[in-house]
C-alpha cells in the first residue's frame, strides 16, 4: 500500500510536469544545434581541429569569468587532469565528498592517489568546512609545509568540493580550511554551470575547476567537459596534456610528456556552442520550475524542497526534496510510487565510502551524508518542462 507521503509527492510532481511521463533531466535543442553540426559536416572539421572548440572555450571563459577554459572529452577526464596539475601524485590523499557522483573519487584513483572522504552539511548538501576543519585538526598534521595524515602517513594534497545538484558549497569556509592546512582547492563544478556565489561563478574559486557537459547536464555536448583556471601556465599545460603532449612542429610527431587523448571533438563543441547560446533561457526556466515545485510542496509535511543557499544563486540543475528523518524509511516507497507512475526520481548516489573499491579509503565521521543518503530524492528537472509552458 502506498503511503500518503508517497502519494502526495507523486501528485505534486504530476501537477508540475503535467500528464504523462517525465525523465529526470533531458536536454533541450531549440537553437542552432543542427546548423552548427551542418557546418562541421560541410567543412569536414568534426574531430580534433575546428573552430567550434576554440569558440566553445572562449565562451565558457567569458561566461564563467575564468581567464581560461580548456574543453575536454568529459568531466571525469577534466578532473583527472586538473588534479594532476594541482600536484596530486601517486601515494597522495585527496579530500572529496562521500556524497558525489563516482567520477570525483575515480579521478583521484586515476592519479594513483587515494580519496579521503568528507561529510556533507544539511544546508548546502556539499562539503562541511566546520566538520572538515575539526577532522583535520585531529587526523592531520603539517610537516615540512605539507598536510600529512597522521594515521596513514600520506600527504593530503588537495581538497575537491563538489557543488551538489548545482547548489554552491560553503566555498569561503572551504578556502579557509585549504589555506590553513596547505591544501590545493580544485572545484568539481560538473553540476553547477550557471551557479554563482556573490558575483563569482562556480569554478572560479579554486586553483582549477572542472565542468561537465554530459547529456544530463544544464547544457550538453553529448559528452564533454572543461577545465577552468585563472592561471595561464596551468591552462597551457592543461591544453598540452589533453592533446597528447605533442610538441608543435610542422611534421614531426614528438611528445614530451605522457599526455592524454582528451581533446573535445569539434562536432561535440559545435553542440556546446549552440547550447551555451540558450543557457540563460534554460536557467530562467529551471528557476521558474523551482518556483512551481515550491508552491506544489508548500505546507507538505515530512520534507523540504532544497533552495539555493543564502548569498548564492543556483542553476537548479536537479530539483531535490529532503525527507525528514522521521519519514526516511518511506524513501523507497516514494521512489517506487513516482517511478511506477513514469515520473523519474532517484536517490542520492550510493555514498563513495560504501562502494567496493573505496571500502578501505580513509574518511572522517560521515553521519550527515549517511543521513542525507536516506532522505534525498531528485525530481524531474528538465528546463523544457517549463519552456513548453511559455
- Interface contacts to a second copy, rule CB under 8 A: 26-29, 33-34, 37-38, 41-42, 44-49, 73-77, 101-103, 106, 109, 112, 214-216, 220-223, 244, 246, 250-261, 263-268, 271, 335, 339, 345-347, 349-350, 355-357
Instruction: Give the three-class secondary structure for 308.
Output: coil
Minimum CB distance to a second copy, residue 235 (Å) = 21
Minimum CB distance to a second copy, residue 263 (Å) = 7
Closest CB to a second copy among 263 and 363? Answer: 263
Minimum CB distance to a second copy, residue 223 (Å) = 4
CB atoms within 10 A of CB 326: 9
Minimum CB distance to a second copy, residue 336 (Å) = 8
For cell 529532503, name the residue.
Answer: 322
Minimum CB distance to a second copy, residue 25 (Å) = 11
Closest CB to a second copy among 295 and 388? Answer: 388
- Concatenated DSSP letters of 142-153: EETTEEEETTT-
Minimum CB distance to a second copy, residue 83 (Å) = 15
Closest CB to a second copy among 41 and 233? Answer: 41
Minimum CB distance to a second copy, residue 358 (Å) = 9
Closest CB to a second copy among 109 and 175? Answer: 109
Closest CB to a second copy among 149 and 220? Answer: 220
Closest CB to a second copy among 175 and 355? Answer: 355
Q: Give the relative orientation of helices 232-242 and 75-85 as an angle to the nearest 10 degrees.
A: 130
Instruction: Give the three-class secondary structure for 312.
Output: strand
* Chain Cα centroid distance, residue 64: 15
Residue 50 corresponds to which cell in the numbers above? Answer: 575546428
What is the phi/psi pair of residue 142, to 5°?
-95, 125
Torsion of CA 74, 160, 168, 28, to 10 degrees: 10
100, 169 contact by CB (below 8 A): no
Residue 220 corresponds to which cell in the numbers above? Answer: 550538453
318, 165 contact by CB (below 8 A): yes
Closest CB to a second copy among 241 and 289? Answer: 241
Which of 271, 259, 228, 213 lies closest to 29 in space, CA to CA?
271
Amino acid at each position: 500500500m502506498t503511503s500518503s507521503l508517497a502519494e502526495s509527492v507523486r501528485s505534486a510532481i504530476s501537477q508540475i510536469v503535467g500528464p504523462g511521463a517525465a525523465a529526470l533531466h533531458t536536454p533541450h535543442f531549440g537553437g542552432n544545434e543542427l546548423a552548427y553540426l551542418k557546418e562541421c559536416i560541410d567543412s569536414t572539421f568534426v574531430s580534433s581541429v575546428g573552430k567550434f572548440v576554440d569558440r566553445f572555450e572562449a565562451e565558457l571563459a567569458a561566461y564563467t569569468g575564468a581567464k581560461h577554459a580548456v574543453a575536454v572529452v568529459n568531466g571525469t577526464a577534466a578532473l583527472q587532469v586538473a588534479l594532476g596539475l594541482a600536484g596530486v601524485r601517486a601515494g597522495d590523499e585527496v579530500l572529496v565528498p562521500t556524497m558525489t557522483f563516482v567520477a570525483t573519487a575515480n579521478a583521484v584513483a586515476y592519479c594513483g592517489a587515494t580519496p579521503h572522504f568528507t561529510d556533507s552539511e544539511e544546508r548546502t548538501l556539499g562539503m562541511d568546512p566546520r566538520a572538515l576543519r575539526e577532522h583535520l585538526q585531529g587526523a592531520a598534521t603539517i610537516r615540512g609545509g605539507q598536510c600529512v595524515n597522521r594515521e596513514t602517513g600520506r600527504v593530503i594534497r588537495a581538497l575537491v568540493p563538489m557543488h551538489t545538484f548545482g547548489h554552491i558549497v560553503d566555498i569561503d569556509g572551504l578556502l579557509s580550511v585549504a589555506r590553513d592546512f596547505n591544501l590545493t582547492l580544485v572545484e568539481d563544478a560538473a553540476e553547477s554551470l550557471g551557479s554563482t556565489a556573490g558575483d563569482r561563478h562556480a569554478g572560479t574559486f579554486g586553483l582549477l575547476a572542472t565542468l561537465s557537459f554530459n547529456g544530463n547536464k544544464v547544457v550538453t555536448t553529448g559528452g564533454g567537459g572543461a577545465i577552468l583556471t585563472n592561471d595561464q601556465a596551468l591552462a597551457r599545460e592543461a591544453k598540452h596534456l589533453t592533446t597528447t603532449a605533442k610538441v608543435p612542429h610542422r611534421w614531426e610527431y614528438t611528445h614530451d610528456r605522457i599526455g592524454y587523448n582528451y581533446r573535445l571533438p569539434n562536432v561535440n563543441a559545435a553542440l556546446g556552442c549552440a547550447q551555451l547560446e540558450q543557457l540563460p533561457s534554460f536557467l530562467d526556466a529551471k528557476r521558474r520550475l523551482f518556483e512551481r515545485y515550491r508552491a506544489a510542496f508548500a505546507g507538505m509535511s515530512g520534507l523540504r524542497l532544497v533552495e539555493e543557499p543564502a548569498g548564492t544563486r543556483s542553476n537548479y540543475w536537479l530539483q531535490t526534496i529532503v525527507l525528514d528523518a522521521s519519514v526516511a524509511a518511506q524513501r523507497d516507497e516514494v521512489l517506487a510510487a513516482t517511478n511506477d507512475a513514469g515520473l523519474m526520481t532517484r536517490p542520492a548516489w550510493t555514498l563513495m565510502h560504501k562502494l567496493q573499491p573505496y571500502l578501505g579509503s580513509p574518511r572522517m565521521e560521515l553521519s550527515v551524508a549517511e543521513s542525507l543518503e536516506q532522505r534525498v530524492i531528485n525530481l524531474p528537472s528538465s528546463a523544457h518542462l517549463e519552456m513548453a509552458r511559455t
